[in-house]
Structure 1
Amino acid sequence: MASDPKTYQFDLPTTNRPTDVSIPETWYPGIRNYWSECTTQRDVHPIDGIKAVVIHATAGTSSEGAISVMRDGKASFHWLVPDENEPQHGQLIWACAPETLAAWHVRNEVFHADVNAGRTRVNHWSLGIEVVNTQTTADRFSDWQVAVTAKIVRYCWAKYPNLRHIVSHAKLDPDHRTDPGVNFPWDKFKSLVLSSNEQAPFAAFTTTARNADDISPSAGDSNCCF
């Protein structure tokens, strides 16, 4: 029986926090030209105020498609995990907005009672991870996508002392969103996040991507994020 993304959540324990976790991130080329139009200053302390990480899937086929949504000023996210058909897969994740800023990855009015006591304006006290995936039954998440997403969460857990909630977009906005979808192996992901064993290092990244300036706005992934 398929799991329900609207139930995906776990809370981090207050003990056994990881330390000094690094992630294989690099800025998406040209993205600095666009994040100012799709992010907001946080209304909480940028370190102490972070309470949640929200897991998304793009409902698209490429990193470029997700970046086009940021270029169009419609939505944003802090990290983007490439798909297995992209050259960056297995090598790097894209940093897409500064962690100090509130990215636009969850609608302001939605909430869940289990997450930060039901507070709204989730973007201000959360970080957003987008994983490139079509969310169709045929499109499985790769082992690397799941592992590196868990590694990002462990990095956040080490950095943000009040981080507690790891939650799906679908749980926060069940009438509007289903991501990361039924194919996302939530139990495996949770196990990787809570594991005390560091993941094996990733290959040094050598590939590049098309500059954001050269990507047409909303190039095929207009449903990404919001």
Structure 2
Amino acid sequence: MGGVMKIVDHRLTTEFADNDWVDKSGGKFAPGLPDTVVIHYTGGGSLASALNTFKDPKVSASAHVLVDKDGRLVQLVPFDRIAWHAGISAYLDRNGLNSYSLGIEVVNAGKLEKSGSLYRSWFGRSYPEEEVVRAVHRNEEEPSYWERFTQEQIETVLNLCQALKNRYQICHILGHEEISPGRKIDPGPAFPLDKLRDRLLHDNRKDEQESGGETRISGVVRAQALNVRSGPSVNSPTIVQPLSRNTELQILDEQKGWYQVEVKVRGWVAGKFVEKISSS
């Protein structure tokens, strides 16, 4: 059973988050910081390879959190300390975003090259078509192929950013590609960055609903206790305490018998235990 995503003493304290501290930090943030989150992809094929890179003393790089394919988290640096994830970077009137931001690294291969019926990463792994997105990068003009992020990863990043926003004065959520254009292309167009930050920072859901862009369906829990998971699968980790009977919720999406719902966080529940009661 998972727990609510909480931050205590600048550390995640949830059952679906581990830690593997690395001694690569630029000291503590200045007062009032961090106020920015920067999202990256690892450019590799596994959590293990990313951990090996960050723990290598010869590599001058670190990040605050790694997000694995199944949505599980590994924290590497406490949130009150500067990590080395942004490199040469600028945004608005700032240079060197390490000093202002928290870095989230999501396990993903990034850009792929088509090879017959498969798609190959720079490190030689091949991916089937169902794990690939063809899309145009925000800093490019022609479409390319990208590894698809898992739904579990997207949900976890959303909930993590919400927890960080609740704890710190977060006012910017950016991609590495936006603070280092021409040098970096992550997280790329396969990650719904614009949608995520719009939801977290601008909350345009009400405007979408009023303009007819989104239909909101209410529901009520009919099970004694209902797990909320990071993705539409019994294998996805739970992200909050179970919902009790008669809990009201908003249904946002449906996939293969699962409802994406929103109470205090967004996650997935088994649809057979929820009764739809209205739409608006």
> What TM-score results when the alignment is normalised by the length of structure 1?
0.65
| Secondary structure in structure 2 of the residue aligned to 1:141 | coil
Please say if residues 77 and 104 of structure 1, whose CA atoms lie closer than 8 Å, have aligned partners that are also in contact.
yes
Question: Contact 2:91–2:179 at 8 Å: present in 1 too?
Answer: yes
Which amino acid counterpart does residue 181 of structure 1 have in structure 2? G
User: Could you list the per-position Cα deviations for residues 68-107 of structure 1 after superposition, in whole angstroms to 9, with x for gaps in the alignment?
Assistant: 1211132111111102xxxxx14x2111111121110011
Match of 1:41 in 2: 27
Pairing 1:105–2:85 present: yes
CA distance in 1, matches of 2:157, 2:29: 26
* 1:169 and 2:153 correspond: no
Question: Quick check: 1:121 aligned with 2:82?
Answer: no
CA contact under 8 A between 2:64 and 2:75: conserved in structure 1?
A: yes
Match of 1:79 in 2: 65
Identity %: 27
Look up the match of 1:153.
161
The aligned residue for residue 144 of structure 1 is 152
**C-alpha separation in 1, matches of 2:37 and 2:189:** 19
CA offsets 1:122-161 (integer angstroms, 9 cap, x no match): 112210100001113251011111111011110011001x
- Residue pair 1:57, 1:133 contacting (<8 A) in 2 also: yes
Aligned letter for 1:189? Answer: L
Q: Distance in 2 between matches of 1:187 and 1:119?
A: 21
User: Residue 77 of structure 1 aligns to which amino acid in structure 2?
Assistant: A
Shift of 1:42: 2.6
The structure that is strand-richer by fraction is: 2
Distance in 2 (alpha carbons) for counterparts of 1:26 and 1:94? 6
In structure 1, distance between residues paired with 2:181 and 2:198: 24
The aligned residue for residue 222 of structure 1 is none
User: What displacement does 1:187 show?
Assistant: 3.7
2:154 corresponds to which letter in structure 1?
Answer: V
| Cα deviation digits, residues 9-52 of structure 1 (max 9, x gap) | xxxxxxxxxxx853745334xx33xx22x21203512xx22110
Higher RCO structure, 1 or 2 (CA under 8 Å, sep 6+): 1
Please tell me whether Structure 1 or Structure 2 has the larger radius of gyration of its CA atoms.
Answer: 2
| SS of aligned partner of 1:175 | coil
What is the one-letter code of the residue matched to 1:133?
Answer: N
Change (3 A) 1:49 1:190: closer
Secondary structure of the corresponding residue to residue 86 of structure 2 = coil
**Secondary structure at 1:40 match in 2:** coil
Structure with the higher helix share, 1 or 2: 1
Cα deviation digits, residues 180-215 of structure 1 (max 9, x gap)? 01211224423553569xx9455359xxxxxxxxxx
- Which residue identity does 1:147 align to in structure 2? E
RMSD of aligned residue pairs (Cα, Å): 2.5
CA contact (8 A) 2:175 2:193 kept: no
Q: Say whether 1:181 aligns with 2:209.
A: no
Q: Is contact 1:131–1:145 with CA below 8 Å preserved after alignment? A: yes
Unaligned residue ranges in structure 1 (runs of 5+)? 1-19, 84-88, 206-226
Task: Give the whole-Å Cα distance in 2 for the aligned partners of 1:155 and 1:103.
Answer: 19
Instruction: Select 1:26's aligned residue among 12, 17, 20.
Output: 17
CA contact (8 A) 1:54 1:128 kept: yes
Alignment-mate amino acid for residue 99 of structure 1: F
Letter of the 1:145 counterpart: Q
Give the aligned length: 165
Q: Indicate conservation of the 8 Å contact 1:147/1:189, yes or no.
A: no
Secondary structure of the 1:102 match is coil
